Amino acid sequence: MTAAPIAALLFDLDDTLLDYSSGVDGSWAGACHACCPQASVDPAALLGELAETRRWFWDDPERHRRERVNMLGAWQHIVEFALERLGCAAPGLAAAVAGDFAARRREGMRLFPDALEVLEHFRRQGVPLALVTNGDAVQQRDKIERHGLGRFFDAILIEGEFGTGKPEEVVYHHALQALGASATTAWMVGDHLEWDVGAPQRLGVRGVWMDREGRGLPSGSVVRPHRIIRALDELIVLER
């Protein structure tokens, strides 16, 4: 595949620049152990039920789309469902667990170690940069602010603010337009094969799949990324 200069670069946020997922299980455990005793609920029982409920809750694409723009509400709904499945009536517990979980997540989340260096590199090179992220306006803005990411981007597009999320074409059209970039000279980097790679590729954008674990493409994947990377600094080599 021929190398093309990167004239504009679009980034996903969660699990691409920001290590979003690695602290999730520990934060649920911490929240259950902190909040359950005063409600006389067994923390281990709730934690066990939550594992199954979380999978079920997020597996439905329509519910995922609806709930991800209000994450605190979504986490509370998940705990409510889990308590219901356990047959526990514990008024106020779901809100307490969700709030405790949110605080733990916020405190524990970190940028990947290579994120700032790579953003600084492309900033220095004068490459227009956009952040294109799905989800909750408040949560995503808070992450951008807390981790000092705003200064790098010429355009920031958050599903909860824009009203539509990836993989809708309008999201990518809008981001490219904001950068003054044409699709065929832009690259998009993200960990979600369909939203971050397949969708922009259909518009002519080059899609880079972030595969930090090195799992490789799932068998039968219809999406064929232009590049697969395990670390962000591979983008710097790609540019040459």
Kindly list the residues in this chain that would bind Mg ion in the complex (CB under 5 A): 12, 14-15, 191
Do residues 232 and 115 make contact, with C-beta atoms less than 8 angstroms apart? Answer: yes
Instruction: Name residue 14's amino acid.
Output: D
Tokens 């971050």 sit at which residue?
A: 196
Q: How far apart are CB 108 and Mg ion at their closest, in Å? A: 17
Hey, which residues does 9 pair with through a beta bridge? 129, 187
Structure tokens at 168: 């809708």
Hey, which residues does 99 pair with through a beta bridge? none
DSSP state of 110: E
Nearest to Mg ion of 49, 192 (CB atom): 192
Do residues 166 and 159 make contact, with C-beta atoms less than 8 angstroms apart? Answer: yes
Q: How far apart are CB 212 and Mg ion at their closest, in Å? A: 11
Q: How far apart are CB 130 and Mg ion at their closest, in Å? A: 14
Do residues 154 and 179 make contact, with C-beta atoms less than 8 angstroms apart? Answer: yes
Helix (H) or strand (E) holding 156: strand 155-158
Nearest to Mg ion of 3, 110 (CB atom): 110
DSSP labels, 172-197: HHHHHHHHT--GGGEEEEES-IIIII
Nearest to Mg ion of 67, 191 (CB atom): 191
Q: How far apart are CB 139 and Mg ion at their closest, in Å? A: 13
Q: How far is CA 176 from the centre of its chain?
A: 20
Nearest to Mg ion of 30, 165 (CB atom): 165
Q: Using the CB atoms, write b or e for 177-205: b if 16+ within 10 Å.
A: ebbebebeebbbbbbbbebbbbbbbeeeb
Radius of gyration of the CA atoms of the chain, in A? 19
Q: How far apart are CB 165 and Mg ion at their closest, in Å? A: 11
Nearest to Mg ion of 15, 211 (CB atom): 15
Nearest to Mg ion of 166, 206 (CB atom): 166
Q: How far apart are CB 17 and Mg ion at their closest, in Å? A: 9
Q: How far apart are CB 196 and Mg ion at their closest, in Å? A: 7
Nearest to Mg ion of 43, 160 (CB atom): 160
